[in-house]
Amino acid sequence: MAILDPPPIRCRIGDLRLTYDGLLPLIGTFLCVAALTYLISTIQGAITVRNKRHGSRPPKLPYATPLLGHLPEFLKDTMKFLARATAKYGPSTPVRIQLLNRYMTLLKGAEAVTSLFKSSRDLSSEHWLVQVLVNAFGVEVTDAPFYLADDTGIANHPDPRSNMKNPEHRIFHLVFKSVHSGLSGVSLEEMERQLVRNLSSQIHHTDIKSDSWTQISDLYGSLIRTVAFKASVVSLCGPHVFERIPTFDADFWTFDSALPNLFKEIPRWLAPASYAARDKMKKHLQEWQSFAHEHYDVCQGQQDQREWEEFFGSRLMRTRHEFFQKMPLSKETIAADDLGLVWAATANTVPAIGWMLLEVLQRPELLQRVRDDIAHYVSLDPSDPTQMVVDIPNLCSRPLLQSIYAEVLRLRSGTVINRVPTSNDFHIRGWHFKKGEQIIVSTYDAARDQFVWNQGTIDDPHPVNEFWPERFIRYPDNPNSGPVLQKITQEQAEKTQDPMISEPTFSLDGTAGSWVPYGGGTRMCPGRHFAKKEMIVTMAIFLSAFDIELLLDKDCEIQPDLKYFMFGVMHPEGKIPARIRRRSFQ
Ligand code: HEM
Ligand SMILES: *[C@@H]1O[C@H](CO)[C@@H](O)[C@H](O)[C@H]1NC(C)=O
């Protein structure tokens, strides 16, 4: 009998001494408190929604744990939590969320999100950005005050309320200007050329044969990811990064997978490997930077007319290091800031390139159509067969290729976009948002709004959770085609006096506020033009150079790795075995 009796469980909480018998009432009390908290917060929320007046605060999402708020739920399954928050109180009512002592509001509905992006003047992201730079990328805490002292804003003219006088210390403005000019116009075209040059040369040098298949155990992890990452980094930073640091590629992806821990501010002693991965990347970038400075004098500035040179790579990178030199920042911090840029430039684009290829390779019929489309725009250079020639503007205007691109970003991006009101009377659609409190938008949930997206017809359904390569194509003879519900397409057409289309056309009409993988407003991703070219061009080059067959089990569909949810485009999950051989083409 004694064996069956549960041993008394003792635990000490301060002076409190509990036995098993004492624990039950405590659990009971806890459950009562949780139930009561949930009940009260549910009623409060419902009242707020019912009595909404102009200037009401958004209702709070019901929760069960006092003090912690939604934190337990959020940490347990962020995707499920955001889906619940999105569904609660209908598709366009914002909801407030409490994560321990942090409050934020989830904004939803295309109209509200569009208004948020249009209100850029009354919003800032700088403080949040500094927090990310410090927590995630490792900007030194001692340098944070330098960033925070810059309250001049991103515009050409410093904010009149600011007292900061030194124009060389306007870090947010200088960064903003450099990324916008460096990722457009002739600078962008040169980066595109460097991308094609590097992709061609890497592909020429891989030891994949043309007369027999090569089996690879992970098409994404060991081929696509590496090749796409290298080409992307070379177009941004030049080739010496990889020559100085042969493990740069592998180390970067280790860092990328540590990022969720770093973002969650898990302390160093609990996640030593994550911090070590970041330290290593900072050290690598410092090494490359001092090598580049030894060989290239950034002070020559605009005198060097080249858009790209081997030591700093793009003009964007060179300009950054020119203004960084005039700022009192440590070398560690400059390396960390560059780590942030390298991450922004590759951590979304590279997995997105992976999806472009994998979605097409999983659908033989689509693959054939894509190959037919590409064939006209990719060829070998007759004078140098190691080089491919790509007609980038025309390739990237093909409706099907653009639609696949937009659909990949719709389906696979899971980013949370942040804005913070800078004044106390910020309103969207009658709701009041408090100064200093974050407003967030979930790109994943916006991309699945059933009141917006075209989901096909009863005979030919295309649910929001499925990949539909033609979702973003409008066909002249099919009113059911195009990315959004027919009702919205019509409203849109009336507003813009849309001319009738005479051929299949790529269209984002009606998706403003719902297709937001790049955010929006003045802070919208400045790399989006490059990203689009990279995604389409890299897919085209791979499919021109290789025959690829996936060796997946029948009806096994490649899934996103949810570990990366909230951190941009998610990587494909698991190893993807395939066989591959060189194709002959002219
Ligand atoms: C598919 C690829 C990409 C996606 C999905 C993506 C997504 C985003 C998002 C969501 C933001 C925040 C926007 C906002 O707050 O409204 C952002 C910012 C940024 N992105 Fe991208 N991005 C991509 C590619 C790139 C590339 C290729 C570069 C550079 C070469 C780049 C550079 C940046 C920079 C510098 C910012 C910060 C802008 C600022 O704070 O003003 N991105 N990106
Ligand atoms: C392409 O990138 C690799 C680094 O991954 C580099 O070794 C190679 O020199 C580059 N080639 C060209 C032509 O830029």
Q: Whose Cα sits closest to atom 11 in ligand 1?
A: 525
Residue showing tokens 């949780």:
34
499 — pLDDT class (breaks 50, 70, 90): low
Residue 367 maps to a domain? yes
Residue 292 maps to a domain? yes
Q: For 296-441, where are the alpha helices, taking DSSP H only?
A: 315-324, 331-346, 349-361, 364-375, 392-395, 399-412
Q: Are residues 228 and 338 both part of a single domain?
A: yes
- Structural domain including 37 reads 7-106
Asked whether 510 lines ligand 1 (CB < 6 A), one says: no
Q: Which amino acid, residue 123? A: L
Number of domains in the chain: 2
Q: Are residues 23 and 154 both part of a single domain?
A: no
Residue 482 maps to a domain? no
498 — pLDDT class (breaks 50, 70, 90): low
Q: Which of 242, 288, 387 to mutate to test the pocket of ligand 2 (most atoms within 8 A of CB)?
A: 242
The last residue of a domain, from among 74, 106, 138: 106
The pLDDT assigned to 15 comes to 43
Percentage with pLDDT > 90 across the chain: 78
Q: Whose Cα sits closest to atom 36 in ligand 1?
A: 525
Instruction: Report in angstroms the alpha-carbon separations of 322 from 168, 171, 300, 326.
Output: 11, 12, 9, 7
Q: What is the mean pLDDT of residues 479-489?
A: 91
Q: Are residues 95 and 134 both part of a single domain?
A: no
State in Å: Cα 374 to ligand 1 middle: 27
Asked whether 201 lines ligand 2 (CB < 6 A), one says: yes
Cβ contacts of 99-103, under 8 Å, gap ≥ 24: 99/69, 99/70, 99/71, 99/74, 100/67, 100/68, 100/69, 100/71, 102/438, 103/434, 103/437, 103/438
The pLDDT assigned to 9 comes to 41
Residue 89 maps to a domain? yes
Alpha-carbon span 59 to 81, nearest angstrom: 16
Q: What is the mean pLDDT of residues 462-482?
A: 95
Residue 122 maps to a domain? no
Q: Is residue 232 pLDDT above 90, yes or no?
A: yes
Q: Are residues 432 and 334 both part of a single domain?
A: yes
Asked whether 239 lines ligand 2 (CB < 6 A), one says: yes
Q: What is the mean pLDDT of residues 174-188?
A: 97
- Which of the ligands is closest to the CA of residue 246? 2
Residue 524 maps to a domain? yes
Residue 492 maps to a domain? no
Q: Are residues 223 and 291 both part of a single domain?
A: yes
State in Å: Cα 390 to ligand 2 middle: 18
Q: Which residues contact 72 (CB under 8 A, 6 or more apart)?
A: 65
20 — pLDDT class (breaks 50, 70, 90): low
Instruction: Report in angstroms the alpha-carbon separations of 346 from 228, 249, 383, 573.
Output: 9, 11, 32, 18
Q: Are residues 148 and 23 both part of a single domain?
A: no
Asked whether 402 lines ligand 2 (CB < 6 A), one says: no
Asked whether 230 lines ligand 2 (CB < 6 A), one says: yes
Q: Which of 525, 529, 565 to mutate to test the pocket of ligand 1 (most atoms within 8 A of CB)?
A: 525
DSSP code of residue 431: E
Q: Whose Cα sits closest to atom 12 in ligand 2?
A: 198
- Which of the ligands is closest to the CA of residue 252? 2
Q: Are residues 135 and 61 both part of a single domain?
A: no
Q: Are residues 218 and 320 both part of a single domain?
A: yes
Asked whether 415 lines ligand 1 (CB < 6 A), one says: yes
Per residue in 544-586, pLDDT tens? 999 999 999 888 899 999 999 999 999 999 999 999 999 987 6
Record the tokens describing residue 246, joined without a space: 């042969």
Instruction: Report in angstroms the alpha-carbon separations of 190 from 204, 228, 349, 511.
Output: 21, 17, 18, 31
Alpha-carbon span 481 to 491, nearest angstrom: 15
Residue 234 maps to a domain? yes
State in Å: Cα 136 to ligand 2 middle: 29
* C-alpha of 150 from chain center: 26
State in Å: Cα 462 to ligand 1 middle: 29
Q: What is the mean pLDDT of residues 144-165?
A: 92
Phi, psi of 132 (to 5 degrees): -65, -45
Q: Which residues are annotated as a binding site for heme?
A: 525
State in Å: Cα 239 to ligand 2 middle: 6
The last residue of a domain, from among 52, 72, 106: 106
Q: Whose Cα sits closest to atom 27 in ligand 1?
A: 345
Alpha-carbon span 133 to 125, nearest angstrom: 12
State in Å: Cα 517 to ligand 1 middle: 9
Q: Are residues 200 and 74 both part of a single domain?
A: no
Q: Which of 229, 518, 536 to mutate to test the pocket of ligand 1 (most atoms within 8 A of CB)?
A: 518
Asked whether 508 lines ligand 1 (CB < 6 A), one says: no
Burial class (CB in 10 A: 0-12, 13-18, 19+), 76: exposed
State in Å: Cα 272 to ligand 2 middle: 33
What is the domain-level CATH number for residue 544?
1.10.630.10
Q: Is residue 470 pLDDT above 50, yes or no?
A: yes
The pLDDT assigned to 122 comes to 84
Per residue in 51-90, pLDDT tens? 888 888 999 999 888 889 999 999 899 999 999 999 999 8
Q: Which of 190, 202, 223 to mutate to test the pocket of ligand 2 (most atoms within 8 A of CB)?
A: 202
Q: What is the mean pLDDT of residues 482-500?
A: 81
Alpha-carbon span 148 to 245, nearest angstrom: 33
Phi, psi of 484 (to 5 degrees): -120, 170
Asked whether 94 lines ligand 1 (CB < 6 A), one says: no
Q: Are residues 151 and 97 both part of a single domain?
A: no
Q: Is residue 5 pLDDT above 70, yes or no?
A: no
Q: Are residues 74 and 184 both part of a single domain?
A: no
Q: Which residues of 163-193 are buried (b: 16+ CB within 10 A; e: fewer)?
A: eeeeeebbbbbbbbbbbebbbeeebbebbbe
- Poorest-confidence range of 25-34, 205-214, 366-375, 408-417? 25-34
The last residue of a domain, from among 73, 106, 139: 106
H/E run at residue 24: helix 20-50
The secondary structure of 362-373, three-state, reads: CCHHHHHHHHHH
Q: Are residues 299 and 347 both part of a single domain?
A: yes
Please, are residues 452 and 110 in contact by the beta-carbon 8 Å criterion? yes
Record the tokens describing residue 521, joined without a space: 């407003």
Asked whether 172 lines ligand 1 (CB < 6 A), one says: no
State in Å: Cα 10 to ligand 1 middle: 52
486 vs 188: which has the higher pLDDT: 188
The pLDDT assigned to 219 comes to 98
Per residue in 322-381, pLDDT tens? 999 999 999 999 999 999 999 999 999 999 999 999 999 999 999 999 999 999 999 999
Asked whether 149 lines ligand 1 (CB < 6 A), one says: no
Q: Whose Cα sits closest to atom 2 in ligand 1?
A: 349
Asked whether 244 lines ligand 2 (CB < 6 A), one says: no
Q: Whose Cα sits closest to atom 14 in ligand 2?
A: 198
